[in-house]
Amino acid sequence: MSENEEIIIPDKPRENANSLSISEIKEIIPHRYPMLLVDRILDFEPMKWAIGIKCVSADEHFFSGHFPDYPVMPGVLQIEALAQTGAVAVLSSPENKGKIAFFGGIRNARFSKQVIPGDVLEMRVRLIKSNGKVGVADGKAYVNGKIACRGELTFFIQ
């Protein structure tokens, strides 16, 4: 990825989409229950972008305490879902196969919509820059086409 290359995520998965099932996602990123927050990758291009979904169930472990009478997906977990979606794009490249991507930071995080049981969170993450082991990605998560959260994610590869 060159410094000046503008990465564009398609509006919807392509006809010949690179989709991944949960089993295939687990072959790329190390996360497991209860921290695996991506159910499917709808489409992606290694080291460029990924579109993933999280089907938010009423049985999610975090709803028992956040909040028992008003279940809302914590914002920090929405950001983590974005980071995991981006990690699929980064770690699916041949040079990063078998490595781990660590969350290095978040800038300009904004939360615009509550995410509740029954929602499908669609995460769209594109790499902005990457030099070797450190990179930055732009992430946005949507529910029913409306933005739920966004932020600029910094990561580093082990």
Q: Which residues are catalytic?
A: 66
Sheet strand arrangement including 40-45: 40-45, 49-55, 120-131, 134-143, 146-157, 101-111
Structure tokens at 13: 């998965």
Q: Residue 121 in contact with residue 148, Cβ under 8 Å?
A: yes
Structure tokens at 66: 């956040």
Distance CA 103, CA 84 (A): 9
User: 35: burial class by Cβ within 10 Å (0-12, 13-18, 19+)?
Assistant: exposed
Which residues, including other chains, have CB under 8 Å from residue 68's CB and lie 6 or more apart?
none
